[in-house]
Chain A
């Protein structure tokens, strides 16, 4: 239609990105952590007073880490306020002030203690792992099982992802690698029945810890979220103290949607912890801060690779240092 063609032509003319120097944009986006840090130094040391430009730079560091606009501005305001009391405003001071601001957010909700199930008071100790598709749940379950086994504990994995093709086979390989046992049912089986059998077996065989791997689900699918609540209920019926932990696994490169995920999952089940995976890339995992503030979850682990040992304890001060680029 004529009108359509005119609109298209007009669009071409008004081409927003036509005149952008893509190379410049690309190189700008490729800044490494140290480069960003150098920029703070430049921005700070090159000027007598910290002006708005400097704060824009700081804001960029925070926003590009996926911290979100709101929290980033809050932190900038906080840094501004605190800098008033600093006599020397050099690279070191601003780094320290910002680091303290960020670390304090995590301090309110996290501890740096190594995660260990409370074996003395609960046997079996039940852990359920939940999350959206592709977050890294199964890999995390395998690594956790390996950790517990290495610590001399008996472990059973429950394969409650009966939906995705070959999810059973994938988890079975992980169970073999970790040298732990696994309870499985055919594809398409009711996940709750797998959970029931796993927990039952753990009780009968006096196993120390149970890890339930669930199917990936988008937090917007109500029926699938209800399925999780049901799993939680089934466990509780067998053991009134359980599940002891429900960990949400979030891909470290996730953007602001991670907050939605965390909120939705915590509505369906009693989340107790957050595991951030794939932090061995260039994503900085800034979403942790908002989740920390909003839901007060501990971070038992972070995932840094595909190997069985690539599950690390979370160290908030190190995490902050990495995020703002001093490491």
Chain B
């Protein structure tokens, strides 16, 4: 997604990094580079300009004097400012607690509204909600048919009418939803240009009629400088409450996300990154900023990790992780190291790209570490090396030996298995390579 931008920023920052002092001269060169990087990434001209001005003020100010190295400080400032501009916190989809949650999907032609509507419906279904898709795009040929096919493939009902009246379709869809117990209504509207004098009033009317919980503006991540104009016009007409960034599976740098955030101030709520219906992700501004800089909090994670892992140990562990041969012996070693680093969950929280939901699945409980050590300590060497042999009677023996219960032993074994799964997932995400080889961080 933003690797190119990251690479360029990296290059720009290199010029400042490692220098003893930030002077107005060497910072101005770097900032010129950063400006160029931002503009090449399609960040709007004015947004980029404001950004550069503020960063330069910071870099030349007092804070520079107290920093350890100028390069670190500038990296930090840029990262912080990018994160802030992108939204500072992750923004969840608003759910109406009292009635049906109505989500109105708007945007320009070809931005990916219909596909996103399908993805969102699928996600809602997974969350045990009862979504209804509404085909309100009466203009584009076969748009209704497209939504029907998408709905069918995820078993979500699609509401449509023969009549060519998007206002009526939207209104009647709400009635239909009420009658059929659909708690989530996703209205897919026609793509329209923000200067369209017929269709902009239409979308504004629909918004008035259905009073949506969320109005999501879908924008192609490849959009250039004009993104600010279309976003602004849509925001004025329908006051959208969130942004959806699509087609991020390509190599666009997505700078338009920065521009739109800066101009309309609404949060980015989803990333839609592929043609498959499960290709929908929540948006995390810090991850995007980390990605822009090719680092982020992972820097401090690596630093912490380096304090406790010595080269030899980490090489051995890495090999085991790569081969998925992580056993209870390693688990015990890890617990010891983790104790030195801080809590496991806090360490996981620092890793951009690791889904908090995933961590919840793994049920990391810091307080249990002591008991876990005791349980592992009561295992034989064979059991630690080959956890598969842990049958009922062995588990009972371990429980007695460690002064815990069979339930706790079972839970640990289950957690261990979950951890192995998680390690597998982390491996897929390139986490292990980046930590152990100290390469730049990369999420795909």
Residues of A bordering B, CB below 8 Å: 1, 3-4, 7-8, 10-12, 14-17, 20, 22, 25-26, 28-30, 60, 63-66, 68-69, 132-136, 163-170, 172-174, 187, 218-221, 251, 253-258, 260-261, 278, 280-284, 286-287, 306
Q: Which residues of B contact A8 (CB under 8 A)?
A: 88
How many angstroms between the C-alpha atoms of A66 and B45 in the bound complex? 10
Contact across chains for B251 and A15 when beta carbons are under 8 A apart: no
- Asked, given contacts A25-B50, A281-B195, whether A16 binds B84 with beta carbons under 8 Å apart, the answer is yes
Contact across chains for B230 and A169 when beta carbons are under 8 A apart: no
Q: Which residues of B contact A30 (CB under 8 A)?
A: 229, 232
Contact across chains for A284 and B226 when beta carbons are under 8 A apart: yes
Partner of A166 from B42, B145, B343 at Cβ < 8 Å: B145
B54 nearest in chain A by CB position? A16
Min distance, Cβ A308 to any Cβ of chain B, angstroms: 11
Contact across chains for A16 and B81 when beta carbons are under 8 A apart: yes
Q: Which residues of A contact B140 (CB under 8 A)?
A: 170, 306
How many angstroms between the C-alpha atoms of A253 and B194 in the bound complex? 12
Q: Does B263 contact A (CB under 8 A)?
A: yes
A sample of 27 inter-chain contacts (CB < 8 A) reads: A1-B343, A7-B80, A10-B80, A16-B81, A25-B263, A29-B46, A29-B228, A60-B45, A64-B225, A66-B226, A69-B36, A133-B112, A134-B110, A165-B147, A169-B146, A170-B142, A174-B141, A218-B249, A218-B250, A220-B251, A253-B224, A255-B42, A255-B256, A256-B253, A260-B251, A281-B193, A282-B229
Q: Does B227 contact A (CB under 8 A)?
A: yes
Q: Which residues of B contact A170 (CB under 8 A)?
A: 140-143, 145-146
Contact across chains for A17 and B230 when beta carbons are under 8 A apart: no
- Asked, given contacts A170-B141, A255-B255, whether A280 binds B250 with beta carbons under 8 Å apart, the answer is no
Q: Which of B224-268 contact A (CB under 8 A)?
A: 224-230, 232, 247, 249-253, 255-256, 262-263, 265
How many angstroms between the C-alpha atoms of A167 and B145 in the bound complex? 9
Partner of A16 from B41, B55, B194 at Cβ < 8 Å: B55
Q: Which residues of A contact B110 (CB under 8 A)?
A: 133-136, 251, 278
- Asked, given contacts A15-B84, A169-B142, A258-B222, whether A164 binds B252 with beta carbons under 8 Å apart, the answer is no
Q: Which residues of B contact A133 (CB under 8 A)?
A: 110, 112, 247, 275
Interface of A: prevailing SS: loop
Min distance, Cβ B121 to any Cβ of chain A, angstroms: 13
How many angstroms between the C-alpha atoms of A257 and B247 in the bound complex? 12
How many angstroms between the C-alpha atoms of A4 and B345 in the bound complex? 13
How many angstroms between the C-alpha atoms of A97 and B44 in the bound complex? 26
Mask for B89-100, Cβ within 8 A of A = 1, else 0? 000000000000
Contact across chains for A29 and B253 when beta carbons are under 8 A apart: no
Contact across chains for A64 and B44 when beta carbons are under 8 A apart: yes
Partner of A26 from B143, B232, B275 at Cβ < 8 Å: B232
Contact across chains for A11 and B80 when beta carbons are under 8 A apart: yes
Q: Does B223 contact A (CB under 8 A)?
A: yes
Partner of A257 from B146, B252, B275 at Cβ < 8 Å: B252
Q: Which of B94-120 contact A (CB under 8 A)?
A: 108-112
Q: Which residues of A contact B265 (CB under 8 A)?
A: 22
How many angstroms between the C-alpha atoms of A174 and B140 in the bound complex? 10
Min distance, Cβ A192 to any Cβ of chain B, angstroms: 19
Q: Does B350 contact A (CB under 8 A)?
A: yes
Q: Which residues of B contact A258 (CB under 8 A)?
A: 222, 224
Contact across chains for A69 and B40 when beta carbons are under 8 A apart: yes
Min distance, Cβ A281 to any Cβ of chain B, angstroms: 4
Mask for B166-177, Cβ within 8 A of A = 1, else 0? 000000000000
- Asked, given contacts A29-B44, A166-B142, whether A281 binds B84 with beta carbons under 8 Å apart, the answer is no
A305 nearest in chain B by CB position? B193
Q: Does B77 contact A (CB under 8 A)?
A: yes
- Asked, given contacts A63-B39, A251-B220, A257-B252, whether A164 binds B109 with beta carbons under 8 Å apart, the answer is no
Instruction: Other than A14-B80, A280-B195, A282-B226, give 8 A-B pairs with Cβ distance below 8 A.
Output: A7-B80, A11-B80, A12-B84, A15-B84, A64-B225, A172-B142, A251-B110, A255-B222
Q: Which residues of A contact B47 (CB under 8 A)?
A: 25
How many angstroms between the C-alpha atoms of A221 and B297 in the bound complex? 30
How many angstroms between the C-alpha atoms of A284 and B249 in the bound complex? 25
B112 nearest in chain A by CB position? A134
Q: Which residues of B contact A26 (CB under 8 A)?
A: 232, 263
- Asked, given contacts A11-B83, A16-B55, A133-B112, whether A1 binds B141 with beta carbons under 8 Å apart, the answer is no
How many angstroms between the C-alpha atoms of A16 and B145 in the bound complex? 46
Min distance, Cβ A225 to any Cβ of chain B, angstroms: 12
Contact across chains for B346 and A281 when beta carbons are under 8 A apart: no
Q: Does B401 contact A (CB under 8 A)?
A: no
Contact across chains for B225 and A255 when beta carbons are under 8 A apart: yes
